[in-house]
Amino acid sequence: MPTVPPNAPRFPIQLRFSDVDSYGHVNNVTYLEYLETARVLLHQLRPELPAAAGGQSGATLRELGGTENRTLVGRQEIEYRVPLDLRTEPVHVRVWVTRIGNSSFDLGYAVVDEDQTGTVHALGASTMVLAAAATGRPVQLPDGYRAALQLWAGPPVPFRDNSQSAGAGQEVAE
């Protein structure tokens, strides 16, 4: 399994029959839904923050971001590793923070089997932007929100070298 911080939250995702495509495995688009579900669940967590961190005791991550703000996806990337077939056991999505900026942060994801095999089905990354709900303009991450994100800090997502991808280095004809 890739280097995932031990304190990275993990969320079980139950596979549904509708997740499977005509090839008999979970459709590639469905993985993005799994990442979205994990991201929503992450924002429902109530991290324990020291008072000096500017956090509100018992507040969810979403509340720490401010009710007048919302978190938007600025960018997403996913790398598929091992096909995931329909089964009764859930798959788990591990989520960690790979970068914290002024008004944005990056999340890393691993879609894994939490059994002895530790099979990694996919890796993902997303850039999230905190924006004012009224204007859609980026806003500075509040101190408590930033402190909560820091609790889940970890390394960059270990994507494969893109130079080995199909078509890498080839020019596109106009």
Kindly state the tokens that stand for 116. 């002895």
CATH superfamily of 10-158: Hotdog Thioesterase (3.10.129.10)
Q: Is 58 left (phi over 0), alpha (psi -120 to 50) or beta?
A: left
Run of H or E including 43:
helix 28-43
State the average pLDDT over residues 39-65: 85
> What DSSP assignment string belongs to 60-94?
-HHHHT-TTEEEEEEEEEEEE-S--B--SSPEEEE
Q: Where are the beta strands (DSSP E) in the chain?
A: 10-13, 69-80, 91-100, 104-112, 120-132
Q: How far apart are CA 103 and CA 129, in angstroms?
A: 6
Structure confidence by residue, pLDDT tens digits, 32-44 = 999 999 999 999 9
* pTM for the structure as a whole: 0.88
Mean pLDDT of 22-50: 94
For the stretch 95-109, pLDDT in tens is 999 999 999 999 999
Alpha carbon distance 171, 2 (integer Å): 32
The residue ranges of every structural domain in the chain are: 10-158
List the end-to-end C-alpha distance of the chain, in Å, as a whole number.
41
